[in-house]
Amino acid sequence: DRFAVNIGGQDGKSHDPVYALYRDQHFSGVVFEAFPPPALFPNIASVNKSGRVHVAVGLVKTSSVGSQLRGYGAPDAFDVLKIDIDSTDLPVLRAVLGAGFRPKLVMVEINHMIPPPLEWARLERADGAPQTGRVQEPQFFGVSANALFSELSAAGYALVAFELGSADGCATCEHNAWAVRADLLRARGFSPPDWRAMNRAYWKQTYLLNNRHGCTTATGSRRSRTAARSERDSAPCDWQPGWKLA
């Protein structure tokens, strides 16, 4: 039985790769969401004919996420882990792995405004309570690409891809890193990418996205913008890193 964990499900569907697994591949699993919009429940219900996809409402705590996953029937080596909570993404990842789980594929949202080689992550407060998002510090959320690479590498995972921007043209909708267990990658005859490969992939993605969406490039030039798909996409691209392409 294939199992997918979605930590930070929002409405359970929009710009969410796990939704397709529930809908098309009939995965079982659990969706965690601290502040569920009304659409979450019907969206999940529509792909939950068997009753094997659960919704957990509330802030995800590192002290309890492992026991929660076991309560929902997550196998030790479940298939997919997605973390996108705009907050303590790295501590939650550590807690899941520290509880003995070894998901085959991991997707974590990264803070695209803190590029390699800088390492940064938002941690829990001193009292153990989770941070709750970007409200007070809009640029300091989640985990940087370099910090995530270091964490995953030490845990036996290979970071294999970055996803900056989305296929439908929304420049600000996606900024994720994808990783697989290194032993599974080696079994297919591939070596885990090293730091140089990770760094190169990050900057290539950033460069291509900047040019695709008409953002200011490292040289200060600006390409003309085609018809914007939304007001958000037509806004200045100050959300992108301003550092030169390495």
pLDDT digits (tens, 9 = 90+) for 188-224: 999 999 999 999 999 988 887 776 654 433 333 333 3
Lowest-pLDDT range of 40-44, 101-105, 179-183, 239-243:
239-243
Name the H helices within 37-162: 40-45, 65-71, 89-98, 145-154
Region 142-146: mean pLDDT is 95
- The pLDDT score that the predictor gives to residue 240 is 39
**Of residues 17 and 164, which shows the higher confidence score?**
17
- The pLDDT score that the predictor gives to residue 174 is 80
Q: Which residues contact 230 (CB under 8 A, 6 or more apart)?
A: 170
In this predicted structure, the answer to whether residue 231 has a pLDDT above a threshold of 70 is no
Lowest-pLDDT range of 40-49, 143-152, 159-168, 209-218:
209-218
The answer to whether the beta carbons of residues 27 and 4 sit under 8 Å apart is yes
- The pLDDT score that the predictor gives to residue 234 is 40
196: part of which helix (H) or strand (E)?
helix 195-212
Chain centroid to Cα 103, Å, comes to 14
155: left (phi over 0), alpha (psi -120 to 50) or beta: alpha
Chain centroid to Cα 17, Å, comes to 10
Which tokens go with 26?
A: 């009939």
| β-strand partners of 27 | none
The answer to whether the beta carbons of residues 98 and 69 sit under 8 Å apart is no
Strand order in the sheet with 105-109: 53-57, 28-33, 3-7, 80-83, 105-109, 175-181, 157-164
Which tokens go with 39?
A: 């659409």
Tallying the residues shown for the chain, one arrives at 246
What is the reported pTM? Answer: 0.82
Per-residue pLDDT of 27-74, as tens digits, reads: 999 999 999 999 999 999 999 977 899 999 999 999 999 999 999 999
Region 150-161: mean pLDDT is 96
**Distance between CA atoms of residues 126 and 89, nearest Å:** 16
Chain centroid to Cα 137, Å, comes to 19
In this predicted structure, the answer to whether residue 144 has a pLDDT above a threshold of 90 is yes
Name the H helices within 72-140: 89-98
Of 162, 165, 193, 197, which is closest to residue 176 (Cα–Cα)? 162
Region 77-93: mean pLDDT is 95
Per-residue pLDDT of 86-133, as tens digits, reads: 889 999 999 999 999 999 999 999 998 899 999 999 988 766 555 554
- The pLDDT score that the predictor gives to residue 126 is 63
**Distance between CA atoms of residues 163 and 141, nearest Å:** 17
Peptide bond into 115 cis (omega under 30): no
